[in-house]
């Protein structure tokens, strides 16, 4: 059974009230160009050494399209990269770009100065990141000087506090705070206006309900009066008929007596 396409409805809402609704237009059909033989050959030649994102950037194709073609030809991207990662995790030197290679000179410098110099200074001298140097020290069983580490920590905390104090006193921060307060005040004013308008609407709605109740009550009274009016007219008509009947009877009796005389 074919699946029916459901219509998507767009509601235009203001202050919680739906002003109007429209049927959203159908999205245009996606046009996809067929893969050329050159693109397929490039994919088959480089799928071992490139990731899907890199192939996508090289060919100017979407990542989903590249993954679809890999699935079509039953290809697994990055087999060589996966082997490199596994070898790196096992401790086998991989020679991959981005992996730090420690020289004997750097290791000797680290062993010589790890206890006498702060770790940030050692990192700056070696041109390496803090995490890389710290990890190497742990691997070599080296420890930092606790007094120097405490001094560096205090200096860092003092520098951070000074930077925070300077930032909080800067014109940029004060301007942001003023804009924040202004925005908050503006939103508060808008909310009060909205609440006042909603309260006015609620008041008008209550007045309408009260008026409708009075109208219903008056309609019932009017219907009752109309019924009473109709009943009174019927009584008057019956009375008139009785008067006429009595009058006719009297006239008939008078005429009969005159004839007898």
Q: What is the pLDDT of residues 176-202, one digit of tens each?
A: 888 888 888 888 888 888 888 888 888
Considering Cα of 193, then 194, then 197, then 199, what sign does the dihedral take? negative
Question: Where along the chain do its domains lie?
Answer: 35-98, 104-168, 172-240
Asked whether the beta carbons of 77 and 47 are under 8 A apart, the reply is: yes
Tokens 């925005």: give the residue. Answer: 183
Whole-number pLDDT of residue 12: 63
- As separate numbers, helices (DSSP H) first and strands (DSSP E) second, the chain gives 9, 2
pTM above 0.75, yes or no: no
SS3 at position 80:
helix
What integer best gives the mean pLDDT of the chain? 77
Biggest CA pair distance of the chain: 168
How many other β-carbons are positioned within 10 Å of the β-carbon of residue 149?
Answer: 13
3-class secondary-structure state, position 196: helix
Tokens 């800067």 correspond to: 170
What would the pLDDT profile of 39-98 be if each residue is shown by its tens digit?
888 888 888 777 777 788 788 888 888 888 888 888 876 655 566 555 544 443 444 444
Of 1-10, 160-169, 229-238, the least confident: 1-10
Section 99-119 average pLDDT: 82
Q: What is the DSSP letter of 17?
A: E
């Amino acid at each position: 059974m074919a699946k029916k396409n459901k219509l998507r409805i767009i509601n235009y809402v203001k202050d919680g009230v739906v002003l109007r609704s429209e049927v959203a237009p159908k999205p245009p059909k996606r046009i996809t160009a067929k893969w050329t033989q050159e693109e397929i050959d490039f994919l088959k030649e480089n799928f071992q050494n490139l990731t899907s994102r890199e192939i996508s950037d090289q060919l100017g194709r979407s990542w989903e399209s590249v993954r679809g073609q890999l699935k079509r030809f039953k290809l697994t991207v990055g087999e060589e990269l996966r082997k490199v990662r596994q070898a790196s995790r096992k401790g086998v030197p991989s020679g991959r770009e981005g992996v730090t290679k420690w020289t004997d000179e750097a290791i000797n410098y680290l062993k010589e100065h790890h206890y006498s110099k702060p770790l940030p200074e050692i990192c700056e001298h070696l041109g390496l990141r803090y995490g890389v140097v710290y990890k190497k020290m742990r691997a070599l069983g080296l420890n930092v000087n606790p007094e120097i580490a405490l001094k560096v920590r205090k200096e860092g905390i003092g520098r951070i506090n000074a930077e925070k104090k300077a930032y909080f006193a800067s014109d940029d921060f004060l301007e942001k705070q003023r804009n924040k307060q202004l925005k908050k005040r503006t939103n508060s004013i808008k909310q009060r206006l909205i609440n006042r308008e909603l309260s006015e609407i609620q008041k008008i709605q209550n007045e309408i309900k009260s008026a409708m109740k009075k109208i219903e009550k008056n309609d019932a009274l009017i219907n009752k009066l109309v019924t009473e009016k109709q009943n009174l007219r019927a009584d008057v008509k019956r009375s008139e008929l009785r008067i006429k009947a009595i009058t006719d009877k009297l006239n008939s009796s008078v005429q009969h007596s005159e004839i007898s005389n």
